[in-house]
């Protein structure tokens, strides 16, 4: 879901033919002990304006038309104001079929004020404030507008597709102003590519020869885990052996992982023909896959304040799959479901198809 990178404070502007002044804002996305391991830049505006004022931007006009229809509870108009191109119209039609009273009380909202906005490829995101007839704040909400040519509302901040998923991750939880500082060229992931209004994430990923002693030890710990599974895991010969095998596998994992839970999910990313697949596995199915590997190598290491990430290639007979391993300061592997919020967001970003393809190609 698209979160709040939207920075700064604005002033409510009531002007003729209002158009937002956008500027590219850069912020630290993932902090290292010194500086940033990743930063993000987005075209943003912090100006405030009512959607019912004399706006001139096409996406703002779409927003005004949508909220006018919502105030009048015109469901057919609302449906047709959503993007057919990205599938939002069909989703909205189904949603309102199940919940026809969704906008029934929206007549109580007298004004909708845009507080922050961002341009992201064909999409515009707006953080809006709903005001009642007395000028009191009723709620804040994030709206998405899709503008491939004409502008329509979109539900793709909630029902995500790869493009809007990347935007949502990249604009989540900046910690402080700053950017990647490194003698090496960072990996640059821009969505969409070669566009003025792309969202850009830059990641500084160290190669094996650039690691310090603690980072080398961290990768060695991961390699030892993979090697231990490859050497020791064997599928049970009969179903009555499964309880014993589960206990053995759990004990083996606990030697290398911290705080594993029963519901911890494990991933290996499969890259094939430009596509990325990320099957979700439990301990047993994950161990079964790793046991068939023939080797492993470090793709790169991304430093963090408390948790760092190693991108590891796991080699099989006919392909290489990729694991993103989080390491704490003790050099042990941290499950994704035990990461703190900023760490979890960054981990999910590293698993995104646009990001992992760029990282492994370096």
Domain ranges of the chain: 12-203, 208-360
Q: What is the DSSP string of 320-342?
A: EEEEEEEE-TTS-EE-GGGS-HH
User: So what's the pLDDT on residue 171?
Assistant: 84
Q: Provide the 10 A C-beta neighbour count for residue 330.
A: 10
In this structure, which topology does domain 12-203 adopt according to CATH? Answer: Nuclear Transport Factor 2; Chain: A, (3.10.450)
Q: Provide the 10 A C-beta neighbour count for residue 158.
A: 14
User: So what's the pLDDT on residue 3?
Assistant: 37
User: So what's the pLDDT on residue 265?
Assistant: 93
Gap between the Cα atoms of 286 and 123, Å rounded: 37
CB 145 within 8 A of CB 151: yes
3.40.50, 3.30.70, 3.10.450, 1.20.120: which CATH number matches 208-360?
3.10.450
Q: Which residue in 263, 258, 252 sits closest to 291, CA to CA?
A: 252
Supply the pTM of this predicted model.
0.88
Give me the average pLDDT of each 10-residue run along the chain (362 residues): 35 47 90 90 92 92 96 97 97 97 93 94 95 91 95 95 92 70 81 91 93 96 98 86 88 94 91 89 94 97 96 96 97 96 95 95 84
208-360 matches 12-203 in CATH topology: yes
Strand duo 109-120 + 320-327: pairing:
unpaired
């Amino acid at each position: 879901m698209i979160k709040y990178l939207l920075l700064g404070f604005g002033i409510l502007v009531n002007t003729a033919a209002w158009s937002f002044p956008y500027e590219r804002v850069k912020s630290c996305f993932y902090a290292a002990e010194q500086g940033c391991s990743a930063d993000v830049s987005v075209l943003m505006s912090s100006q405030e304006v009512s959607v019912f004022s004399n706006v001139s931007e096409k996406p703002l006009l779409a927003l005004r038309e949508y909220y006018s229809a919502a105030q009048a509870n015109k469901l057919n108009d609302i449906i047709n104001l959503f993007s057919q191109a990205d599938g939002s119209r069909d989703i909205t039609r189904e949603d309102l079929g199940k919940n026809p009273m969704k906008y029934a009380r929206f007549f109580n909202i007298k004004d909708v004020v845009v507080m922050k906005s961002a341009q992201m490829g064909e999409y515009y995101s707006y953080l809006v404030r709903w005001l009642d007839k007395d000028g009191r704040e009723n709620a804040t909400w994030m709206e998405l507008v899709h503008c491939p040519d004409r502008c329509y509302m979109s539900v793709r901040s909630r029902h995500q597709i790869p493009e809007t998923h990347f935007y949502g991750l990249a604009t989540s939880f900046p910690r402080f102003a700053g950017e990647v500082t490194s003698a090496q060229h960072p990996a640059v992931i821009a969505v969409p590519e070669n566009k003025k209004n792309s969202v850009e994430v830059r990641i500084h990923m160290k190669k094996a020869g650039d690691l310090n002693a603690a980072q080398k030890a961290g990768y060695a710990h991961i390699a030892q885990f993979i090697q231990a599974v490859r050497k020791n895991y064997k599928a049970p010969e009969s179903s009555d052996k499964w309880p014993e095998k589960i206990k053995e596998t759990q004990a083996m994992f606990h030697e290398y992982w911290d705080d594993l839970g029963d519901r911890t999910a494990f991933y290996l990313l499969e890259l094939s023909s430009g596509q990325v697949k990320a099957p979700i596995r439990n301990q047993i199915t994950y161990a079964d896959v790793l046991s068939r590997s023939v080797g492993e190598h470090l793709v790169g290491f991304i430093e963090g304040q408390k948790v760092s990430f190693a991108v590891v290639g796991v080699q099989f007979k006919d392909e290489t799959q990729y694991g993103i391993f989080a390491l704490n300061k003790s050099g042990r592997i941290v499950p994704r479901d035990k990461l703190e919020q900023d760490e979890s967001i960054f981990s999910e970003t590293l698993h995104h198809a646009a990001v992992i393809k760029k990282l492994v190609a370096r």
